[in-house]
Structure 1
Amino acid sequence: MFQNIIIGQYVPGNSVLHRLDPRAKLVAVFLLVLFVFFANDWISYGVLVTFTLTVILLSRVPLSFIYRGLRPILWLVLLTVLLHLLMTKEGAVVFTIGGFTVHEQGIINGVFLSIRLLTLVILTSLLTLTTTPIQVTDGLETLLSPLKRIGVPAHEIALMISIALRFIPTFMQETEKIMKAQMARGVDLTTGPIKERLNALLPLLIPLFMSAFKRAEDLALAMEARGYRGGEGRTKLRALTWKSRDTWLLIVVCAFGVGLFLLRA
């Protein structure tokens, strides 16, 4: 399951999204995360889904790859739908099962929130799927550079965020490896009471933390051996270049947000 995590992974390619400036993509994703909450009816959610599918096609990332990446959160989506079905008591009664009454508004709220959650995950994941960690670091540092005037360490913050994104899939793979090793030794992580399953997680967490600290130490030593001393005086091998397509990206995203707002019921 953990090998399907798509957040933090990069898929090499030469699509339109791959060629965009990372600064434009970062700003666009930030705006899209806000615009997603403008949708509140079937028409606006239909436009949101259409826009998301279009972005996926433009990225040329295989749909099967994105689907495998979404599978780990489908349980969360299903839980969200069930909670709305059981707790929302507005609208006409659709059906009754085992003493629980399902109302029309509960179904609508569950579907809408599921679409919103999946859309947020897909749009934010496409940022890392089409942008290398180095580009993410450079883009974040450039966007945060005005804050240097008030003492904010823009380079260090950008570096920490990019390293965190880079190591998400690595730690997920490490977690799965440790789980399989513990299960091979007889540890049951999938059945039994909740208390026993939580206790069984202790043998998983300890080696995972040890591995995380070891990787952090190795990374720090490697950076120090290469003369890393922070962002002051550093030069870049590839300078970021803002082009007309990056401006058009922000125009399209802003137009999309305005359209969603006007479609609100």
Structure 2
Amino acid sequence: MVSPVAFYYYSDDPAQNLMARPSYAGNQACFSNFLGVFGTGNLTVLTADLSASSVRFLQGLVPASQMVALPSTGSAAAFLQMLTMLDGLAGAALVYFVDGPTMHTPDALTCLSEGSQIADYSTLYDSPAMYTGSGTVSPTGLVGNFYVFHSGETTRVVVTGSAHWKFTHTPTLNIAATVERLLQEGFCLMPGIKQIVCVHTPTFLSSLSQPYTQATFNRMWYLIGKTGTAASCIPAKATPAVTAYLAPLVDWQGVASTT
């Protein structure tokens, strides 16, 4: 089993918390759940807009050397910060980016390792938006992706030792990929400067002003490009803690109570 180098974006940004959240899946509960599954060994916490309560909470769980305060807020900014921190890691090292409060099932680590063996990008999240066509709004208010026809993507499904995987045109930012893959997507580190230079960066950052689903769709579309592959675990082994975007077919409240 491959253990990833994990980057967890933790923020108390009021804008992030405008969306309805399950009562059992607050920031601190989700982070505790994550630690119960992945531990702290290869973890960096990217923080923004922390409340005093969150500062005390994180200090009690994660060494200060593993926390990085971001100069600006937003998941795209956190992702770009992560890219500047890959220097020195082996190209084959698996990196897992967790975009804000996210619940994980107990077997998520095993499944993530398996997913990384079958696709360039793997995600434990099966987004309900992947079953909603472009330009339509589902009963939950989801804006769909434009690769969906007849309530699904044209794809293929494969099975690994612990899960089924659906190849998808774009996951969200809750993804895992190798260092080599991330840095060959047009991103490069200027030697000794720790600065990302990328032809996609303006488009990537402009997605911050778009609706949640469309923003994450577009961000990953630019990362994956024309030659990459992405696989999504079905049923999901992780979900963002947003009521409208909970992955289907999983008792997430039950997950919260057991991890």
TM value normalised by structure 2? 0.29
Q: Which has the higher contact order (CA 8 A, sep 6+)?
A: 1
Bigger Rg over Cα:
1
Name the structure with the higher helix share: 1
Name the structure with the higher strand share: 2
TM value normalised by structure 1? 0.29
